[in-house]
Amino acid sequence: MSTSELTRHPTYGLLDRPAPVSTRLLRSELRLVFRRRRNLAILGVLACAPLLLGIAIKIGGGGDGEGGGPAFIGQITRNGLFLAFTSLVVTLPLFLPLAVSVVSGESVAGEASAGTLRSLLVVPVGRTRLLLVKYAGIVAFGLAAAAVVGAMGVLVGLLLFPTGPVTLLSGSTISFGAALVRVLLVVLYVAAMLAGIAAIGLFISTLTEVPLAAMAATAITVVVVAILDSVPQISSIHPYLFVQWWFSFGDLIRDPVVYGPMVHGLVVHAVYVAVFGSLAWARLTTKDVSG
């Protein structure tokens, strides 16, 4: 019997019962996100940030904290590991949110505009499942983006600056290994911040079939919130703005670590994810897919 005849058997390739849990779609989504050239280009650009920063500080002699800027910059010339922290501080206000805006804005709107949304829905992929998988893809990209910046920061820092035990901002010294763990924790915290933006972007992405519009709207939302966060007259609402909690990870570079603000930040972000995730779900599960 030829393969062709075999595959025409009425049960060829079918499972006896549908897989209760299947990670195939999730893996497929991750491949889609991480094989896409545009997304790889974004990660590439982000990888350049620590490099440029490191070279600039090396050439400029690192200013001993006089030139303003983040408090860590002066530390970099003493220990290369600080380049990782500084790179994350520099990229978090704009580059990282922009990267996540692009991928999250694309998520559902991109599928809708290409028509692949209907192809997936008739497979069928449940709309809730699709939304979860899409969100997981964006969060993974956010984590990868933060990790790329952190890892390149460590790498370039090791190449250009002294290493060894790290003297923290609070004055105490921890081993290099322990400091690497701190870098990892900072990366995870930054990724959690990006997961909040991801939820907003995912929701906006369910509203339109024009990916570019969703990307722009998400990025603008982040900028508007950042502006609101800088207006002192409305400081009463600041604790509820996600931007407020971005830089709480500075507490991870002190000893002992102060967890309060970071926990608060994570809770605020969890609320954002719940609210915008629900909105996205409500929208996608009732949407007429006619694109």
Partner 1 sequence: MTDTVPSPVTERGPAPVVAPPTPALATRRLTKRFRGGQVAVDGVDLMVPHGSVYGFLGPNGSGKTTTIRMLLGLIAPTSGEHDLLGRRMPGAAADVLPRVGALVEGPAFYPYLSGWDNLARIDAADRTVDPATSRARIGIALERVGLSAAARKRYRNYSLGMRQRLGLAAALLRPRDLLVLDEPTNGLDPQGTREVRALIRELAAEGATVFLSSHLLSEIEQVCSHVGVMSRGRLVAQGTLRDLRDVAAPRVRVVTGQPAQAMAVLTALGLAAPEARDGQVLATLDGVPSERVTAALVRAGIGVRELVVERPDLEDVFVSLTGEGFDVDQ
- Could you check whether the bond before residue 232 is cis, i.e. omega within 30 degrees of 0? no
Q: Measured in Å, how far apart are the chain's first and last C-alpha atoms? A: 42
120/212 with CB nearer partner 1: 120
Q: Does 1 bind partner 1 (CB under 8 A)?
A: no
Which of 190, 205, 36 is CA-nearest to residue 130?
205
With a CB cutoff of 8 Å and minimum separation 6, the contacts of 54 are: 76, 83, 153, 156, 157, 159, 160, 161
Q: How far apart are CA 230 and CA 235, in angstroms?
A: 8
86: amino acid identity, one letter: T
9/172 with CB nearer partner 1: 9
22/230 with CB nearer partner 1: 22
12/259 with CB nearer partner 1: 12
Contact 72, 89 (CB under 8 A): yes
- Tell me, residue by residue from 29 to 58, as one string, x for binding to partner 1 by CB under 8 A and - for no binding: ---x---xx---------------------
Minimum distance between the CB of residue 208 and partner 1, rounded to whole angstroms? 16
Count of residues of this chain found to bind partner 1 when the rule CB under 8 A is applied: 37
DSSP 162: -
Contacting partner 1 within 90-149 (CB under 8 A): 114-116, 118-126
Residues that bind partner 1 (CB under 8 A): 3-4, 7-15, 18-19, 22, 24-25, 27-28, 32, 36-37, 114-116, 118-126, 286, 288-290
